């Protein structure tokens, strides 16, 4: 072996250095993110935990009350109504939205002419802010002049109290939820479907599998990681719905569309019940954590080997 020249020794110096120096370098790379997480995420998360155990109006000195905030929430019927509404909203919008998106993505995959046009149209709501969407839909749901009630009266159907009746308001909010998530999920699923190898589909066709069977037996299992991604993100997003209900109904009428994040906001900033707001947010956290865990567990059996979260 030829002797290493000084230049060569100098070259590649960093990578031959002791691992401590390399470790320091690596930590410097993650330092900005780490500081950000510490200050703007970890601190709030632990402070919320502290707050949840205090009686605090945000101004005077907080006093420790143990689980008192949780107890008073569990005794509060508004909490239960809100939890019920949020669960209904998620349970309605996530499956309907996902199935709908899956179906339309499959339609778009049929070598349609004008694919680009359809895809563009479906993405417009994705770039539109939830608040602007709420402004538009508040008017579409308008009792007297709204587009939907106008449309219904053409078929001689009496106008529906979209935003003034608790049940109809919840339905209205659910419809809007599906509408908002639809575009992004469709494009996500379409991208996944387009990645399914043509040869597989051809083989199935030759074997005589019908379109329906091909879709459920080949396409859906192959894109299951994306389906999982869509359901997990849709669930966490829907469970935290805020902007649309804040603007459309502000939780009303009669708590008919009260949602958890909105209630946290109201408890903290409208009623100065900071401790209760924090306790409520931790209940949300627990539910989201549990449901996501269950989704991952259940899907471990069904999602194929190319899992989303492999490292």
Which parts of 175-194 interact with other proteins (CB under 8 A)? 179, 182-184, 187-189, 191-192
Is residue 268 within the footprint of other proteins (CB under 8 A)?
yes
Binding part of the chain for other proteins, among 76-84, 89-97, 200-208, 268-276 by CB under 8 A, reads 268-276
Query: Which lies closer to other proteins via its Cβ, residue 168 or residue 265?
Result: 265
Q: Decide: helix, strand or coil at residue 55.
A: strand
Q: Which of 78, 87, 88, 123 binds other proteins (CB under 8 A)?
A: 123
Binding part of the chain for other proteins, among 76-84, 111-119, 166-174, 297-305 by CB under 8 A, reads 111-119
Q: Which of 48, 201, 245, 303 binds other proteins (CB under 8 A)?
A: 48
Cis peptide before 253 (omega within 30 of 0): yes
Q: How many CA atoms lie within 13 A of 118 on its CB side?
A: 16
Is residue 277 within the footprint of other proteins (CB under 8 A)?
yes
Is residue 23 within the footprint of other proteins (CB under 8 A)?
yes
Binding part of the chain for other proteins, among 75-83, 162-170, 201-209, 272-280 by CB under 8 A, reads 272-280
Q: Which long-range contacts (C-beta less than 8 Å, at least 24 apart) are formed by 122-129?
A: 122/182, 122/183, 122/186, 122/187, 123/183, 123/184, 123/187, 124/183, 125/179, 125/180, 125/182, 125/183, 126/183, 126/184, 126/187
Q: How far is the CB of 166 from other proteins (least distance, A)?
A: 21
Q: Which of 87, 126, 196, 220 binds other proteins (CB under 8 A)?
A: 126
Is residue 270 within the footprint of other proteins (CB under 8 A)?
no
Query: Which lies closer to other proteins via its Cβ, residue 75 or residue 110?
Result: 110
Is residue 298 within the footprint of other proteins (CB under 8 A)?
no
Q: Which letter, b or e, does each residue of 271-308 get, where b requires 16 or more Cβ atoms within 10 Å of its Cβ?
A: eebbbbbbbbbbbbeebbeebbeeeeeebeeebeeeee
Binding part of the chain for other proteins, among 25-33, 67-75, 91-99, 163-171 by CB under 8 A, reads 25-33
Is residue 209 within the footprint of other proteins (CB under 8 A)?
no
Q: Which of 229, 251, 257, 266 binds other proteins (CB under 8 A)?
A: 229
Query: Which lies closer to other proteins via its Cβ, residue 131 or residue 167?
Result: 131
Is residue 294 within the footprint of other proteins (CB under 8 A)?
no
Residue 54 has a CB neighbour count (10 Å cut-off) of: 18
Binding part of the chain for other proteins, among 22-30, 76-84, 166-174, 198-206 by CB under 8 A, reads 22-30
**For the chain, what's the residue count?**
311
Q: How many residues bind other proteins (CB under 8 A)?
A: 103
Q: How far is the CB of 58 from other proteins (least distance, A)?
A: 7
DSSP structure class, residue 142: -
Q: Which of 2, 5, 18, 33 binds other proteins (CB under 8 A)?
A: 33
Binding part of the chain for other proteins, among 13-21, 63-71, 75-83, 213-221 by CB under 8 A, reads 13-21
* 3-class SS letters over 211-222: HHHHHHHHHHHH
- Distance, in Å, from the CA atom of 276 to the CA atom of 258, rounded to the nearest integer, reads 16
Is residue 160 within the footprint of other proteins (CB under 8 A)?
no
Q: Are 232 and 219 in contact (CB under 8 A)?
A: no
**219 Cα distance to chain centroid:** 24
Q: Residue for token digits 């500081």?
A: 35
Helix ranges (DSSP H) in 195-273:
198-206, 211-214, 220-222, 224-239, 243-248, 260-265
**280 Cα distance to chain centroid:** 19
């Amino acid at each position: 072996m030829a002797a290493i020249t000084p230049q060569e020794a100098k070259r590649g110096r960093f990578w031959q250095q002791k691992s401590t120096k390399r470790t320091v370098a690596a930590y410097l790379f993650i330092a900005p993110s780490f500081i950000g997480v510490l200050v703007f995420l970890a601190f709030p998360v632990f402070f919320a935990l502290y707050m949840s155990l205090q009686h605090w109006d945000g101004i005077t000195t907080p006093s420790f009350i143990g689980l008192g905030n949780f107890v008073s929430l569990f005794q509060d019927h508004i909490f239960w109504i809100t939890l019920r509404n949020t669960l209904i909203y998620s349970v309605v919008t996530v499956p309907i939205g996902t199935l709908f998106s899956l179906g339309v993505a499959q339609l778009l995959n049929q070598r349609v002419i004008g694919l680009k046009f359809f895809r563009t149209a479906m993405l417009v709501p994705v770039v539109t802010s939830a608040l602007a969407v709420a402004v538009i839909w508040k008017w579409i749901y308008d009792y007297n002049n709204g587009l939907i009630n106008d449309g219904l009266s053409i078929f001689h159907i009496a106008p529906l109290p979209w935003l003034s009746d608790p049940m109809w308001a919840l339905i209205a909010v659910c419809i809007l939820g599906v509408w908002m998530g639809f575009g992004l999920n469709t494009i996500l699923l379409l991208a996944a479907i387009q990645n399914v190898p043509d040869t597989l589909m051809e083989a199935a066709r030759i074997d005589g599998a019908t379109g329906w069977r091909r879709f459920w037996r080949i396409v859906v299992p192959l894109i299951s990681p994306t389906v999982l991604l869509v359901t997990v993100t849709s669930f966490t997003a829907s469970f935290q719905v805020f902007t649309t209900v804040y603007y459309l109904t502000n939780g009303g009428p009669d708590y008919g569309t009260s949602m958890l994040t909105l209630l946290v906001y109201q408890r903290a900033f409208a009623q100065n019940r900071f401790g209760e707001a924090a306790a409520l947010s931790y209940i949300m956290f627990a539910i989201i954590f549990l449901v996501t865990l269950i989704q991952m567990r259940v899907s471990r059996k069904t999602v194929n080997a190319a899992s989303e979260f492999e490292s």
